[in-house]
Structure 1
Amino acid sequence: MLNISDSNINIDRTKFTSFQKAEGAKSGGLLIRFSLFLLLLALIVMFLPWTQNIRSHGKVTTLKPDQRPQTIHSIIGGRIEHWYVQEGDFVKKGDTILYLSEIKDDYFDPDLLNRTRTQLESKKMAADSYMKKVEALDNQINALIETNKLKLQQASNRLKQAKFKLATDSTDYEAEVINYKIAKDQHTRLAELYEEGLKSLTDLENRKLTMQKARANMVSAQNKLLTSKNEVLNIQMELTSIQAQYRNAISKAQSEKYTALSSMYDSEAVVAKLSNQYTNYSIRTGLYYITAPQDGHITKTIQSGIGETVKEGEEIVSIMPAKYELAVEMYVRPIDLPLLEKGQHVRIQFDGWPAIVFSGWPNTSHGTYGGQVFAIDNFISDNGMYRVLVAPSADDHPWPNALRVGAGTMNMILLSDVSIWYELWRKINGFPPNYYKTAKK
């Protein structure tokens, strides 16, 4: 009691049971025992196991790129003429979504394919004609070469005959020269005998006549020899003329052949260009109908209305594939990246699914689902973190069927099992979790 008043009030405490219990109680020993109990309990808790983990937010996505939501683009520019679907419809692969009409004046002709095909056929026929002309010129060149060989062989034979005749005439000329010399010598001796009176004038005149005949024969043999020489020269000139004549004819035919080949190659180039153009026109005709690339649901029509024009490569509708394998996309800090490896276990809490989560004791958590690290990016993302893709774990409960792509998640990547005191000491000092591993043999 506080004695702050001048009057004193005396109370008999023995009459009140509460005063007796309160003043008689010994609370000091109880407090000490309670404190020791809490200290012992805290010490025991410090040695309990604790699972180190990395916590990160994420979202539901698909495991494969072709299973994710996609937008369908218009490959060509066109004008929307008719819609065959609306938002929320289920379409199968190849189903028509909308029809476009042409907006470029280069393709307005309704008979464009037939006209292009006609041009293509005409150029093919022109190329075939040039090819036949090349074959004809090849035959002509071969014939000229064979004829040239025969002409040269014929002239060579005549040249050999002329050379043989020249040799014969040369021999005859030499013989006539010898005969003339003998006749001349005989005439000289007979003239000397005549002067001495041993021979008559008639004998001298006969010998002179014989000498003149020998001289005439010698001159005739010389003329034949010169004629043979001229004939040899003429045949040699004829050989040269034949070679030049057929060389010019063959060169002219080859020139015409190369001209035909050049025209044929030009025609083939035009044929290839027209074939490409015809194929492009036929493919473009099929692109007027925008079809579904795979089974899925139409989620949003980006373009709308009738008569609206779309540009080349512009988005038209978005589609969600019907069949997909779910995964979780999450981001971790660069300091945590060395702790991760493929196949590592992850506990996932999906938004909208109630769960009781104990960070350090994942086995006692309820409402979480298992996953395992499927892929880890080796390059940092724009948000300064590394992307990790988590696939469902085959050894855990299957993920809910009602999950949709884009749902949020809370993820825990499980690491080493340590004591609570070690985890507290690590966090106080700012140390990273344990990532030292025993080498596998």
Structure 2
Amino acid sequence: MKIQSFDNIYNIHKKSRVKRWFLFIFLTAVVVLFLPWTQNIKVMGTVTSLYQEQRPQQLNSPIPGKIIKWYVKNGDYVKKGDTILQLSEVKDDYFDPLLVQRTQQQVEAKKGVRDYYEAKVGTTNSQLQALATAKDLKLNQLQIKISQLKNKLAGEEAELAAAANELKLSEDQFARQKKMYDEGLVSLTQFQQRSISYQNAIAKKTASENKVAQTRQEIVNTGIEQNSVIQDYTEKLSKTEGERFQSMGQIEGSEGDIAKLENQVANYKFRQGLYFIIASQDGQIVQLNKAGIGEILKETESIGTIVPKTTDYAVEIYIKPVDLPLIKEGQRVMCVFDGFPAIVFSGWPDSSYGIFAGKVIAVESNISANGLFKALVIEDKTEKKWPPKIKMGTGVQGIAILNDVPVWYELWRNINGFPPDYYEVKTEKTGSNEKQK
């Protein structure tokens, strides 16, 4: 008797397809093992800017002050040079509304003092020239007097010589006359006449000697007077020169005071321009941390942040030290931005959806505070453009592309715990263009 339930439960007489499916799966697995697999390193990062000036900038108060007016609010877009807020002074040194004008008046007063001393220096120069001229004139007069006295002395010395000759002759005549008188050859009257002549010759010679001595004394006195004139005028010139140097010192001091006051004027004018905090570039005002009117700001205190409107985006990725040797400049990195849908096939990045290509332009040699090394990735212009809606600070998952290897090799590598193969970036230059592989 044939039991229907037995036939339904036991299919021993039916043909099985297990072997067929096993062979199909086995062959498929073998084929898959020989498919290409792209080795990669997964890293995390954030969106930043390629240039420092395009990154979010803090708005700081350059001077301490009190807020008296706001011109913007959170989220406003501003252009370069737009006023953000207005401050007023809180230091009593700058309360005077006419501070610049009064300081400028001090500058003008100092310039007047300088001009006065410059005029005094000019007058002193004229005095020096007059004293020098008077000194030369006086010395020339004394020199002429000395020359005249020397000529006079020469004449008197000639007279003295003549008187001496005359005296010698009179002495000889007197001696002969006396001898003749003693012998009785001449009378007493004749002898007395000769004696008188002899006495006159002596007196004449004595007078000539006195004249010569007097003239020589006058020459000496004139020389002494000449030295006295030199000393007197030297003292006057030194005194006047000292006054001149004193005035020049006052001029230099005035110049220093003028420069200091002009520096203060410039600083006061520049400080007045700091009462208005303006936008340094086009962008959006965010994170304003001061509210209301009358709040006091300290010097360099942060007011908020301005996010630049135009940005050349880049991605900062952080690499583990063990993976650092595998990352090179020019290496290809696939980026998955937070908020943008993506379907990622790890081993086949070219087949993934929603990922964007970039290339490494710099790898920092110094480790960061988080224990990782930072690298900078920019957009690859030869492939799909990065989404325009990304923002600064957006999270990014990066896939650093390495070598293409078979699937069986990648499985064998992971089973043995070996690192990925070292990836060399080859650069071919054709003219001015560079193609990176």
The two structures have a TM-score, normalised by structure 2, of 0.89
User: Take 2:26 and 2:161, find their aligned partners in 1: how far apart are those partners?
Assistant: 153
User: Take 1:352 and 1:67, find their aligned partners in 2: how far apart are those partners?
Assistant: 22
- The equivalent of 1:313 in structure 2 is 300
Deviation at 1:435, TM superposition (A): 4.2
User: Take 1:157 and 1:425, find their aligned partners in 2: how far apart are those partners?
Assistant: 124
Give the alignment partner of residue 213 of structure 1, picking from 180, 186, 200.
200
Distance change in 2, residues 1:313/1:23 (3 Å): same
User: Take 2:276 and 2:396, find their aligned partners in 1: how far apart are those partners?
Assistant: 40
Distance change in 2, residues 1:85/1:14 (3 Å): closer
User: Take 1:352 and 1:283, find their aligned partners in 2: how far apart are those partners?
Assistant: 46
1:66 counterpart SS class: helix
State yes or no: 1:22 paired with 2:12: yes
The amino acid across from 2:307 in the alignment is M
1:304 counterpart SS class: coil
- The equivalent of 2:125 in structure 1 is 138
Identity of aligned residues (%): 42
Deviation at 1:370, TM superposition (A): 1.1
The amino acid across from 2:119 in the alignment is K
User: Take 1:289 and 1:191, find their aligned partners in 2: how far apart are those partners?
Assistant: 128
- The equivalent of 2:370 in structure 1 is 383
1:22 counterpart SS class: coil
The amino acid across from 2:94 in the alignment is Y
User: Take 2:313 and 2:364, find their aligned partners in 1: how far apart are those partners?
Assistant: 18
Give the alignment partner of residue 282 of structure 1, picking from 269, 274, 281.
269
1:159-174 → structure 2 map (5 Å cutoff): 159-174=146-161
- The answer (yes or no) to whether the contact 1:46–1:419 under 8 Å persists in 2 is yes
Deviation at 1:49, TM superposition (A): 3.0
User: Take 1:142 and 1:422, find their aligned partners in 2: how far apart are those partners?
Assistant: 105
Task: Structure 2: state its 5+ residue gaps.
Answer: 430-437
State yes or no: 1:434 paired with 2:422: yes
- The equivalent of 1:89 in structure 2 is 76
Distance change in 2, residues 1:219/1:384 (3 Å): same
Task: Structure 1: state its 5+ residue gaps.
Answer: 1-10
Q: Which moved more, 1:330-339 or 1:216-225?
A: 330-339
1:122-154 Cα distance to aligned partner (Å, 9 max, x none): 111111111121122122212222332232233
- The answer (yes or no) to whether the contact 1:169–1:221 under 8 Å persists in 2 is yes
Distance change in 2, residues 1:194/1:272 (3 Å): same
Number of residue pairs the alignment of both structures matches = 428
Give the alignment partner of residue 240 of structure 1, picking from 227, 230, 246.
227
- The answer (yes or no) to whether the contact 2:65–2:88 under 8 Å persists in 1 is yes
Distance change in 2, residues 1:228/1:131 (3 Å): same
The amino acid across from 1:271 in the alignment is I
1:246-257 → structure 2 map (5 Å cutoff): 246-257=233-244
Q: Which moved more, 1:108-117 or 1:244-253?
A: 108-117
- The equivalent of 1:367 in structure 2 is 354
State yes or no: 1:101 paired with 2:88: yes
1:301 counterpart SS class: coil
User: Take 2:351 and 2:318, find their aligned partners in 1: how far apart are those partners?
Assistant: 25
The two structures have a TM-score, normalised by structure 1, of 0.89
User: Take 1:55 and 1:314, find their aligned partners in 2: how far apart are those partners?
Assistant: 40
The amino acid across from 1:433 in the alignment is D
RMSD: 2.6
1:193-232 → structure 2 map (5 Å cutoff): 193-232=180-219
1:53 counterpart SS class: strand
Deviation at 1:34, TM superposition (A): 3.2
The amino acid across from 1:347 in the alignment is M
